Amino acid sequence: MDAVNHQVRLAARPVGLPKRSDWSYAEEPVGEPGEGEVLVEILYVSLDPAMRGWMNEGRSYIAPVGIGDVMRALVAGRVVASNHADLAVGDHVTGPLGVQEYAVAGGHAVMKVDPGLAPLPVYLGTLGMPGMTAYFGLLEIGRPAEGETVVVSGAAGAVGGVVGQIAKLKGARAIGIAGGAEKCDYVMQELGFDAAIDYKSQDVAAGLHEHCPKGIDVYFDNVGGEILDAALARLARHARVVICGAISQYNATGAMTGPSNYMSLLVNHASMTGFVVSDYGDRYAEGAREMTGWLSAGKLVSREDIAEGGLQRFPETLLRLFEGRNTGKLVLHVAED
């Protein structure tokens, strides 16, 4: 194949919000798949808050992206050449293939998906990593019982929107925290949450007091910072706090703001547990099966926020996550199917 593969590479480790100069654009010839490998044309790139952490040096749950490396990203694409027995040209796949137009990958590194069942971007959202995060984080760590109150921050986002809906499916009450009246309306009217608190214009502590009169049984935290502290102050006895993310802190240039109300865990015999979705990798099929069933039955609403403009738009599209300029799962459209 003579085609050129355009790529976005990490040029520098950002301080604060990533700048254009933290990225470089490169091109190289499209690779040839070897034995057991496939060549994938990338159609959609997933934008994830975790990308900000992957750009930092230091120990984490995964190695940092190296300077000069293609930026790590989950993608959805189409097989255009195959030397793998289980994958044919024209099959659609997802996998961690990076911010680029083409990638050669071992057949085991990608997962075949069916765009007839759900549009490709859904496999990066509700039926992909964020959906599995909501599913396993809520059901395995949060463990909501019928009638309990579940509060989730980042409620209009990819993970949070699914958390509240699963809570409802399990017979719990779902209270969302999101930025802005429009997002709060979306969370209640379209996703079916019982209530929503606009942290940008309302007092979160007062909102939690109003909507959680018996306290919070499960707090699913996507944002950290002051909102986590407000939730801790309102825990019910034996509450479970799921530490899924802390997006309010990802671009901090100084020390992260940690919770000060943590004694509430002791007073309420509560637990706070950190969670990484990849720990449940061997159970994704189980989560995907149940989530697909809910989607097909119309019990789960999936929303994708699709940015156009191709790879050149990657830097500013990523920033949308940190500015709250996405509703549902943010993906970048890279090529037509």
Ligand X SMILES: NC(=O)c1ccc[n+]([C@@H]2O[C@H](COP(=O)([O-])OP(=O)(O)OC[C@H]3O[C@@H](n4cnc5c(N)ncnc54)[C@H](OP(=O)(O)O)[C@@H]3O)[C@@H](O)[C@H]2O)c1
**Contacting range for ligand X; rule: CB under 6 A; set: 33-41, 73-81, 261-269, 322-330:** 322-330
The verdict on 107 binding ligand X (CB under 6 A) reads: no
Beta carbon nearer to ligand X, 183 or 234: 183
The verdict on 130 binding ligand X (CB under 6 A) reads: yes
Contact set for ligand X, span 210-229 (CB under 6 A): 222-223
Beta carbon nearer to ligand X, 77 or 160: 160
Query: For ligand X, which residue of 91, 217, 326, 331 counts as binding (CB under 6 A)?
Result: 326
Query: For ligand X, which residue of 23, 135, 275, 314 counts as binding (CB under 6 A)?
Result: 275
Give least dist CB 129 to ligand X, A. Answer: 6
Beta carbon nearer to ligand X, 152 or 233: 152
The verdict on 158 binding ligand X (CB under 6 A) reads: yes
Give least dist CB 57 to ligand X, A. Answer: 18
DSSP letters, 108-162, are GGSEEE-TTTS-GGGGGTTTSHHHHHHHHIIIIII-PPTT-EEEEESTTBHHHHH
Beta carbon nearer to ligand X, 41 or 198: 198
The verdict on 302 binding ligand X (CB under 6 A) reads: no
Closest alpha carbon to 178 in 159, 165, 191, 160:
160
Query: For ligand X, which residue of 170, 316, 322, 335 counts as binding (CB under 6 A)?
Result: 322
Contact set for ligand X, span 231-260 (CB under 6 A): 244-248
Report the Cα 185 to chain-centroid distance in Å: 21
Give least dist CB 40 to ligand X, A. Answer: 22
Q: How many CB atoms lie within 10 A of CB 320?
A: 14
Which secondary-structure segment (H or E) carries 25?
strand 23-29
Query: For ligand X, which residue of 67, 80, 265, 276 counts as binding (CB under 6 A)?
Result: 276
Beta carbon nearer to ligand X, 235 or 277: 277
Per DSSP, the three-state class of 185 is helix
Q: How many CB atoms lie within 10 A of CB 63?
A: 9
Give least dist CB 156 to ligand X, A. Answer: 5
According to DSSP, residue 178 is labeled: E
Distance in Å from the first CA to the final CA of the chain: 18
The verdict on 77 binding ligand X (CB under 6 A) reads: no
Beta carbon nearer to ligand X, 247 or 272: 247
DSSP letters, 249-318, are GTT-SS-----S-THHHHHTT-EEEE--GGGGGGGHHHHHHHHHHHHHTT-S---EEEE-S-GGGHHHHH
Distance between CA 214 and CA 243 in Å, rounded? Answer: 22
Residue 169 contacts residue 299 (beta carbons within 8 Å): yes
Residues lying near ligand X in the complex (CB under 6 A): 48-50, 130, 133, 154, 156-160, 178-179, 183, 222-223, 244-248, 275-277, 321-322, 324, 326, 330
